[in-house]
Amino acid sequence: MHAQVSTESIREAINKVTSVVDRKNTRPILAYTLVEASDGQISFSATDLEVSAKVTIEAITEVPGSFCVNAKNFSDILRELPNSNLELKLDEKENSLKINCGDIHFTLLIYKNEDFPQLVFQNKSNEFSVPSEKLQEIISKTSHAVSTDETRLFLNGIYLQEIDSKLRAVATDGHRLSMIDTEIEDNNIDNLINGIIVPRKGVNELKRVAESYPKSPINISVDDSFMYVNCDEKYFLSIRLISREYPKYQAVIPQKTTYSMTTDKGSLFDALRRIKIMSNEKSHGVRVKFAEREIVLMANHPSLGDAMEKIAVDYNGKEMEIGFNAKYLIDTLATFDDGEIQFEINNEFSAVVIKSPGIPHMLGIIMPLKL
Res 202: pLDDT: 97
Model confidence at 125: pLDDT above 80: no
Is pLDDT of 68 > 90?
yes
DSSP character at residue 187: G
Percent of the chain residues topping a pLDDT of 90: 88
Q: Does domain 124-250 have CATH number 3.10.150.10?
A: yes
**Rounded mean pLDDT of 11-15?**
96
Is the per-residue pLDDT at 192 higher than 80? yes
Q: Give ranges for CATH 3.10.150.10 in the chain.
A: 2-115, 124-250, 253-366
Which residue intervals of the chain are DSSP H helices? 7-18, 71-80, 132-142, 200-212, 265-276, 326-334
Instruction: Report the top-level CATH class of 2-115.
Output: alpha beta
Q: What is the pTM of this model?
A: 0.93
Over residues 321-327, mean pLDDT: 97
Whether the per-residue pLDDT at 279 is higher than 90: the answer is yes
- Say if residue 104's pLDDT is above 80: yes
* Nearest C-alpha neighbor of 292 from the set 268, 271, 320, 264: 320
Do 245 and 170 form a contact (C-beta atoms < 8 A)? no
DSSP H helices, 215-334, are: 265-276, 326-334
253-366 to CATH, choices 3.20.20.70, 3.30.230.10, 2.70.70.10, 3.10.150.10:
3.10.150.10
* Whole-number pLDDT of residue 92: 76
Mean pLDDT of 68-96: 92
Average pLDDT, the chain: 94
Q: Please compute, for residue 130, the number of CA atoms within 13 A of its CA located in the half-sphere on the CB side.
A: 27
pLDDT score, position 93: 79
In the structure, what pLDDT confidence band is assigned to residue 191 with cuts at 50, 70 and 90?
confident
Task: Give 9's pLDDT tier (boundaries 50, 70, 90).
Answer: very high
Distances (CA, A) of 103 to 91, 98, 106, 173: 19, 13, 10, 54
